[in-house]
């Protein structure tokens, strides 16, 4: 169940709290192909199913940045902020790709509100997002994501 933030004051009150987890989504070869086509990253470990069987991961894997690009949709299942006129992605402080996401894996994100500071017209927040594959021993990606919410 998503954490619902009622307003700017409630947002500030959630600093330091774990906000929850998304449901798992399956990463498909079609998604990986579409991402490769959109970015021009056609490395064989992502696309060549036969060659990847003999590669370091034993199968094709998702691009790290594909994993990270799932943040908006997955985080939208974790939490929402009400009363926002506009929200924007502002950047990242740190991103680490710690383990591969095999094609066919089930991936989810967990989120904690690491920081929030008032800015003109709203709040800038830092969310620590931890992407993990079902059954994996370590996260696939950990990122400090920065968003701005204008009220």
1-41: pLDDT as tens digits? 799 999 999 999 999 999 999 999 999 999 999 999 999 99
pLDDT at 83: 93
Both tokens of 116, joined, read 């929030």
Q: What is the mean pLDDT of residues 60-77?
A: 97
- Residue 39 resides in a domain: no
- Residue 33 resides in a domain: no
Number of structural domains found in the chain:
1
H or E stretch at 117: strand 106-119
pLDDT at 133: 98
Beta pairing partners, 118: 123
- Residue 56 resides in a domain: no
Q: Which domain holds residue 143?
A: 3-26+65-150
Find the length of the chain: 151
**In sequence order, which residues have a C-beta less than 8 Å from that of residue 145 and are 6 or more positions away?**
71, 75, 89, 91, 92, 126, 127, 128, 129
38-64: pLDDT as tens digits? 999 999 999 999 999 999 999 999 999
- Residue 104 resides in a domain: yes
- Please state, as a whole number, how many other Cβ atoms lie within 10 Å of the Cβ of residue 51: 11
**In sequence order, which residues have a C-beta less than 8 Å from that of residue 96 and are 6 or more positions away?**
141, 142, 143
**In sequence order, which residues have a C-beta less than 8 Å from that of residue 84 and are 6 or more positions away?**
122, 149, 150, 151
- Residue 137 resides in a domain: yes
- Residue 123 resides in a domain: yes
**In sequence order, which residues have a C-beta less than 8 Å from that of residue 73 and are 6 or more positions away?**
none
- pTM for the full model? 0.95
Q: What is the CATH number of the domain that holds 87?
A: 3.10.129.10
pLDDT at 38: 98
- Residue 108 resides in a domain: yes
- Residue 92 resides in a domain: yes
């Amino acid at each position: 169940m998503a954490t619902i933030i009622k307003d700017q004051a409630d947002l500030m009150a959630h600093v330091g709290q774990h906000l929850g987890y998304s449901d798992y989504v399956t990463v498909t070869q079609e998604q990986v192909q579409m991402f490769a086509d959109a970015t021009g990253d056609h490395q064989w470990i992502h696309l060549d199913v036969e060659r990847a069987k003999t590669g370091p991961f034993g199968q094709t894997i998702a691009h790290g940045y594909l994993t990270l690009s799932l943040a908006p949709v997955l985080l939208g299942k974790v939490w929402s902020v009400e009363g926002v006129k506009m929200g924007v992605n502002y950047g990242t402080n740190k991103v680490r790709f710690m383990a591969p996401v095999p094609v066919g894996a089930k991936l989810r994100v967990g989120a904690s509100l690491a920081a929030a500071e008032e800015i003109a017209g709203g709040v800038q927040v830092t969310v620590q997002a931890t992407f993990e594959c079902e059954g994996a021993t370590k996260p696939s990606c950990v990122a400090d994501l920065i968003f701005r919410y204008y009220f």
